[in-house]
Amino acid sequence: MRRRPTARRRWARFHPELSPNPGEITIAPHKNIDVLANTDLDVQLRQHNVEYVAIGGMIGTMCVESTARSAMERGYHVTTFTDATAAAGGRDAYEAMILRYPAISHATLSVDEYLAAIDKA
């Protein structure tokens, strides 16, 4: 009988240019489409008195939407991005996704609009 090779764990690593600075919040990798589910992110945000979250990502029709809904239900002020989010299914899926974002977030902005708003604050 052949033995199966032992599985090797591969831990996630930050890209050197995207590594967190000392004191910045980091969480364990998530395994769901909602990053707030089964991670300590909600606890971390609350410990640091974070009220506002901005969400963008690779799969806007699943991960971003699920996380935005969850964040709103937990009482965060949610911003979703129009240009830092992708949708599987082409342009029609993207446009439909962007139309849904105002229902699941307090603000839907481009990254430039978001940065300009932060500069004014």
Banded pLDDT at 112 (limits 50, 70, 90): very high
Q: CA-to-CA distance for 67 and 65, rounded, in angstroms?
A: 6
Res 23: pLDDT: 83
CB 22 within 8 A of CB 47: no
How much is the mean pLDDT over the chain?
Answer: 86
Res 29: pLDDT: 74
Q: Is the dihedral of CA 66, 62, 54, 38 positive or negative?
A: positive
Please tell me the pTM assigned to this model: 0.79
CATH topology classification for 33-120? Rossmann fold (3.40.50)
3-state secondary structure of 53: strand
The distance between the two most distant Cα atoms of the chain, rounded to a whole number of Å, is 68
CB 106 within 8 A of CB 79: yes
Residue scoring higher pLDDT (94 or 18): 94
Q: Which residues of 106-121 are buried (b: 16+ CB within 10 A; e: fewer)?
A: ebbbeeeebeeeeeee
Residue 1 clears pLDDT 60, i.e. is over it = no
